[in-house]
Structure 1
Amino acid sequence: MTTTTHQTAGRFAARAGTFGELLDAVGDRWDAPTPCEGWTVRDVAAHAIEAERDFLLRHDLLATDAPDLSDPAAAWRTHAADVVAALARDGVAEREYDGYFGRTTIAATMADFYGWDLVIHGWDVARATGQSWSISDEEAASLGATASEWGDALYGEGICAPAVTVPDDTPAQDRLLARLGRDPSWTPA
């Protein structure tokens, strides 16, 4: 694995770890509504697992059965360990394929598409359950740059809602969230 590919796979692992920490702290609030309209915290966790598993299964990279979603935090830990193990196998992380947005690698997809999703859904989980969540201005800029690469597809069905208008002096993370169709001041009803 090249240094760049190793760093990219590491970026996924770090994002997966942070998402897992948020899920571990949910407690008994799995059915709390999230900023994702119609989704509970449990739904967000299931979405992250199922979307990533679907991608990895299409590339014949998972041999294990899907984790039991009755305990979403435990299911996430099992799933994340499976993904990290798959990325660590010889040649997997740097394997190229033609993706939705062009030629890419398995590691880049996991870090910059699915890992991107984990950061944003991490905010959803944190907001829904009263946990703190923040990212640096640098991370917000990086996530925003990735979103820019997707063009109009960013607002396609099931991706992001239309952007929310916020003042120009809004912090970088909140501007990113607003761009992704989330009201940065959202709180559970």
Structure 2
Amino acid sequence: MPTNGLMSMIELDRRAVRASLDAFATWQPGSDDPGTPCAGWQLGDLVAHMTIQQQGFARAVAGERTERADWAPTRHNDPVGVYRSACDQVVTAFAGLSDPTTPVLLPEVGPDPLPLSTAVGFHLVDNVVHAWDVARSLGARPSLDDDVVEAARTVARDVPDGERRDRPGAAFAHRLPLPDGVSALDETLQLLGRDPRWHPAHA
């Protein structure tokens, strides 16, 4: 990926991060902790996971070597406030990066560093899917720009649907069947094992 392509992807990623934060707009964590499309997770669990992911990616693209234990989520008293700070942290870390071949170590993915261009793609997909997770948990739809979703779909099509998805704690379940005429967002979700028809039990 050329430098200008990387910078474009980073801008798309920034908007995906913003959408993931905006999805929490109506949540009142002190009184509501709904279920999510992530099996076994309440929304409080999901935001804790999303927070450590943003912090972990920020550390990784800065060249810091982390261990899997560093990515363990923790619930906070002000979950959305802490998540907002984590979003600012990762957006700042990504801004100005220009070499797509820069090695980035993501211990949750594997023991070998990945090129920065690949890491940005993974981060983009993660934020698009989690924006949907959060919005659906609250009975809404995420506010995602079309070009952001299209970029996520392109990356999702290349994510292997292998035995890695069977492992405990895997980021994604196996692909779901793709009907004809599916939207870009729904295709992205189904490629990553999410059912676009999911809705909260209380809805």
What TM-score do you get using the length of structure 1 for normalisation?
A: 0.77
Matches within 5 A, 1:70-109: 70-88=77-95, 92-94=97-99, 96-97=102-103, 103-105=114-116, 109=119
1:44 match = 46
Q: 1:60 aligns with which of 54, 64, 71?
A: 64
Pairwise CA distance, 1:128: 0.7
Pairwise CA distance, 1:68: 7.7
Pairwise CA distance, 1:120: 0.3
Higher helix share: 1
Secondary structure, in 3 states, of the residue corresponding to 1:24? coil
- What stretches of structure 2 of length at least 5 have no aligned partner? 66-72
Pairwise CA distance, 1:126: 0.6
Superposition RMSD in Å: 3.2
Q: Aligned equivalents of 1:30 and 1:9: distance in 2?
A: 33
Matches within 5 A, 1:116-155: 116-133=125-142, 135=144, 139-152=148-161, 155=165
Q: Aligned equivalents of 1:45 and 1:52: distance in 2?
A: 10
Secondary structure, in 3 states, of the residue corresponding to 1:143? helix
Matches within 5 A, 1:143-182: 143-152=152-161, 155-157=165-167, 158-182=170-194
Pairwise CA distance, 1:93: 5.0
Q: How many residues align?
A: 181
Secondary structure, in 3 states, of the residue corresponding to 2:161? helix
Instruction: Tell me: CA distance 1:15–1:138, structure 2 relative to 1, closer, same or farther (3 Å).
Output: closer
- What stretches of structure 1 of length at least 5 have no aligned partner? none
Q: Aligned equivalents of 1:15 and 1:139: distance in 2?
A: 7
What TM-score do you get using the length of structure 2 for normalisation?
A: 0.72
